[in-house]
């Protein structure tokens, strides 16, 4: 399983883009992008979206890896982390179902 930084570097290299060029497109310093790729710095959600649009036509993969990294960083030192994730999954499924039901009522 690749980290977000590894995924970004892999996609950037596959497109033969220099780190300077990608950083310029994002409006950030190349050293910041390098730290993001190495995993030393976490990008913002906006930066992830910009990077995904530049490097990958489907931004879902970038967002999934980004969000999973956020969850891990919050829960990594918690003993009941897996139980918390299972409960969160149930809660998210309920929210999705509620949103679906509300959308059905509109039509």
Quick: pLDDT tens for 60-97.
889 999 999 999 999 999 999 999 999 999 999 999 88
Tokens of 28: 């950030």
Residue ranges in 1-107 assigned as alpha helix (H): 4-14, 19-26, 30-38, 45-55, 60-75, 81-106
The Cα 8–Cα 62 span in angstroms is 8
Beta carbons within 8 Å of 55's beta carbon, 6+ residues apart: 8, 11, 12, 15, 17, 22, 62
Looking at the structure, give the CATH architecture of the domain made up of residues 1-76: Orthogonal Bundle (1.10)
The answer on pLDDT for 100 being more than 90 is no
Q: Where are the domains of the chain?
A: 1-76, 77-107
pLDDT digits (tens, 9 = 90+) for 46-69: 999 999 899 876 788 899 999 999
Higher-confidence residue of 11 and 102: namely 11
What integer pLDDT is reported at residue 107 of this predicted model? 57
Q: What does the pLDDT look like over 7-25, one tens digit per residue?
A: 999 999 999 999 999 999 9
The pLDDT of residue 56: 78
* Structure-token pair, residue 17: 């883009």
Residue 2 confidence (pLDDT): 84
- Using the predicted structure, report yes or no on whether residue 36 has a pLDDT greater than 60: yes
């Amino acid at each position: 399983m690749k980290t977000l930084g590894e995924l970004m570097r892999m996609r950037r290299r596959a497109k033969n883009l220099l780190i300077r060029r990608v950083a310029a497109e994002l409006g950030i310093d190349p050293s910041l992008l390098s730290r993001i790729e190495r995993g030393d710095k976490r990008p913002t959600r906006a930066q992830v979206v910009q990077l995904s649009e530049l490097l990958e036509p489907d931004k879902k993969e970038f967002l999934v890896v980004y969000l999973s990294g956020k969850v891990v960083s919050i829960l990594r030192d918690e003993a009941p982390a897996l139980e918390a994730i299972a409960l969160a999954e149930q809660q998210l499924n309920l929210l999705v179902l509620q949103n679906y039901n509300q959308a059905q009522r509109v039509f």
